[in-house]
Amino acid sequence: MPVNAESEFWLRLEAVPGLGPEAVQRLLGAFDSAATVCAASQSTLATLIGPARAAALRSAETDTAVQRGLDWLAAEDAHLIPITDPAYPEALQSVPGAPPWLYVKGRLAALSQPLLAIVGSRNASVQGQRDAEAFAETLAASGLTIVSGLAEGIDTAAHRGGLAGNGSGIAVVGTGLDRVYPAKNRALAHELALGGALVSEFPIGTPPRPGHFPRRNRIISGLSLGVLVVEAALESGSLITARLAGEHGREVFALPGSIHNPLARGCHRLIRDGAKLVESANDILEELQRPLTLPARDKIDPDTPPDSALLSLLDNGPLGLDQLQERSGLTVDSLSAMLLTHELEGRVASLPGGRFQRLY
């Protein structure tokens, strides 16, 4: 992005250790811009943020951090968006404790799209990852951009599904945007930056630290219309995101699972506490009053073998016999015979309400 003087002043504020949202709001209440904050005397600043932070604003360490940030901002797709900027997401701006600035790598326009968060366990089951990817693809094809945290497991599956559905997605990370964590998601992060955006409140050069990941959850929730939780243990960080979503006035959705699966217990607790139980992406779209659009891969090629076509349709979540018939063009008798075979072979499960779900 073009680097201006105001960007440099925001980088200076951002580099001061411990200068959080409340302190920044005090400064902005006393001064009309980051530039006038930085131009104020140290004694004046000390009355607002304390002597140590006032001194840190002009320290050599801060000078080094500012230059590191300026070097990163020289890239065309690199942005620093302060809370006073019109490009700062309006939904996030209203959240208590909203970050005073956001680093963004990618397309700023992605942040203004209707967003839905999908989160869950890092140690997700194969079925949980399949569900997250299928839900994300259908929701993205229906006009929602998927937000998650770039972690292993459900986050990774959700990002992949979102990219397949509309070529976009947003990852909110717990490091500086010059780093990718986990490293195995480097290619995924690159793809998200091309079609969507990577977002962080942390300075360039910040490594992954345990305390950063719960903090970034308020951004995931604050950006989104709602949060879908897919597989979460009772102590999962995903439940923090869901709790924040409820506090922020967002919709909370949860995918139920087997009573024998410990990763379903967090979702079951959310449902008991009032989260909407969902069995298909359309349950979410109906709640958000958005129409369902099937992903392109649901348009079955007539040359596809019927068995493969049926399993492909079930990739998007549980479906009833009428829906399968409509989308596949197969007769009820043919579908029933194939479903029975797949059930006996353990590929498909029959659910209450006459729906069928693919198992692998």
Does 245 fall in a domain? yes
Q: Which domain holds residue 328?
A: 300-358
pLDDT score at 300: 44
pLDDT score at 5: 67
Does 82 fall in a domain? no
pLDDT score at 318: 80
Percent of the chain with pLDDT over 90: 59
| Residue 202 structure tokens | 């942390």
pLDDT score at 319: 82
Query: pLDDT tens digits, residue range 137-181?
Result: 999 999 999 999 999 999 999 999 999 999 999 999 999 999 999
Residue in the block written with tokens 């018939």: 325
User: Which amino acid does the sequence have at 258?
Assistant: S
Minimum mean pLDDT among 12-21, 77-86, 113-122, 124-133: which range? 12-21
214 preceded by a cis bond (ω within 30 of 0): no
| Residue 40 structure tokens | 């104020």
Confidence band of 299 (pLDDT split at 50, 70, 90): very low
For residue 221, give the CATH number of its domain.
Answer: 3.40.50.450
End position of a domain, from candidates 287, 322, 347: 287
Shared-domain flag, residues 190 and 261:
yes
Tell me how far apart the alpha carbons of residues 327 and 324 are, in angstroms, rounded to a whole number: 5
Does 340 fall in a domain? yes
Bridge partners (DSSP) listed for residue 78: 105
Res 313 pLDDT > 90: no
Residue in the block written with tokens 């008798």: 333
Shared-domain flag, residues 29 and 154:
no
Res 77 pLDDT > 90: yes
Percent of the chain with pLDDT over 70: 94
Domain count of the chain? 3
Does 22 fall in a domain? yes
Helical ranges in the chain per DSSP H: 5-14, 21-30, 34-39, 42-49, 51-56, 60-73, 90-93, 126-141, 154-166, 186-195, 212-223, 237-247, 265-272, 281-287, 306-314, 321-328, 332-344
Confidence band of 354 (pLDDT split at 50, 70, 90): confident
pTM: 0.82
Contacts of 86 (CB under 8 A, 6+ apart): none
Of 348, 357, 285, which is closest to residue 316 (Cα–Cα)? 357
Shared-domain flag, residues 33 and 160:
no
Shared-domain flag, residues 68 and 133:
no
Query: pLDDT tens digits, residue range 32-68?
Result: 888 888 889 989 999 989 999 989 888 999 999 999 9
Shared-domain flag, residues 185 and 314:
no
Strand order in the sheet with 170-172: 78-82, 101-106, 197-200, 170-172, 145-148, 115-120, 226-230, 251-254, 276-277
CA angle 121, 99, 142 (to 5 degrees): 55
Q: What share of the chain is helix, strand, coil (3-state, %, to 5)?
A: 50, 15, 35
Does 327 fall in a domain? yes
Res 210 pLDDT > 70: yes
Shared-domain flag, residues 63 and 204:
no
Shared-domain flag, residues 254 and 313:
no
| Residue 171 structure tokens | 């990852």
Confidence band of 305 (pLDDT split at 50, 70, 90): low
Contacts by residues 290-294 (CB-CB < 8 Å, ≥ 24 positions apart): 290/114, 290/142, 290/143, 290/144, 291/142, 291/143, 292/138, 292/142, 293/138, 293/141, 293/142, 293/143, 294/138, 294/141, 294/327
End position of a domain, from candidates 17, 49, 74: 74
Shared-domain flag, residues 32 and 176:
no
Tell me how far apart the alpha carbons of residues 83 and 98 are, in angstroms, rounded to a whole number: 8
Tell me how far apart the alpha carbons of residues 293 and 201 are, in angstroms, rounded to a whole number: 34
Cβ atoms of 267 and 256 within 8 Å: the answer is yes
Tell me how far apart the alpha carbons of residues 187 and 192 are, in angstroms, rounded to a whole number: 9
End position of a domain, from candidates 24, 49, 74: 74
